[in-house]
Amino acid sequence: MKRKLVFATNNRHKLDEVREIIKEDAEIVSLEAIHCHEEIPETADTLEGNALMKARYVREHYGMDCFADDTGLEVEALDNAPGVYSARYAGPGHDSEANMRKLLAELQGKGNRKARFRTVIALLLDGKEYTFEGIVNGSIIEEKRGDRGFGYDPVFVPEGYTETFAELGEEIKNKISHRAMAVQKLARFLSDLH
């Protein structure tokens, strides 16, 4: 029987991406599926801290094995900002358009446009905690391109490519993205438990 794991998200994009990678090793359920509708706090000052905070919340309140992720875009010329504040860079709420506008404005006139996406996944399983990290290096372009993907995808070009994540599409992104790398590490770990 497949192990059931809660993924502490209701983000449809993330759920689909993760289910595609982990399909053999566990049944992945969303927060909605376990009737968790409250806003889970993410007040740590690191990606690891936020991921652990979300996973621990589900474990404490719902008693289920769980994993959670936190992702940040780290831009070299901005001292690795927005980082842990990526989703709320332009202020409260999750407005990707406003976040991208602010990022592009901050980078105006800067020659160094190196950036990386970093995802940390925290897994709480059988009373133990594990973390997995995925990093993809790339750069920030000067204006948005592409209409697939979400978040900062339209302004991020991964190393070795000429198209943004929003132009590459799900299939390629799911193979090379930061989240995909972290999820593949998680999948290998789950697979090794059998």
**Could you tell me which residues come within 8 angstroms of residue 191 by beta carbon, excluding any fewer than 6 positions away?**
24, 25
Q: What is the pLDDT of residue 194?
A: 66
Write down how long the chain is. Answer: 194
Q: Measure the N-to-C terminal CA separation of the chain; round to a whole number of Å.
A: 11
Instruction: Classify burial at 148, counting beta carbons within 10 Å of its beta carbon; exposed 0-12, middle 13-18, buried 19 or more.
Output: middle
pLDDT more than 90, % of the chain: 75
Helix axes 178-192, 12-22, angle to 10 degrees: 40
Query: Hey, is 163 helix, strand or coil?
Result: coil
* Residue stretches of the chain with pLDDT short of 50: none
Q: What are phi and psi of 84, to 5 degrees?
A: -65, -15
CA atoms within 13 A on the CB side of 58: 31
Q: What are phi and psi of 24, to 5 degrees?
A: -80, -30
**Residue 122 C-alpha from the chain's centroid:** 11
Q: Please name the amino acid found at residue 80.
A: N
- The set of catalytic residues is 70
Strands 66-75 vs 81-83: parallel, antiparallel or unpaired: antiparallel
Note the pLDDT tens digit of each residue in 87-123.
889 988 768 999 999 999 999 999 999 999 999 999 9
* Cα torsion angle, 178, 70, 2, 30, sign: negative
**Short-list 100, 97, 96, 120, CA closest to 46:** 120
Token reading at 123: 């897994």
Note the pLDDT tens digit of each residue in 2-13.
889 999 998 888
Q: What are phi and psi of 11, to 5 degrees?
A: -75, 110
Q: What is the pLDDT of residue 149?
A: 76
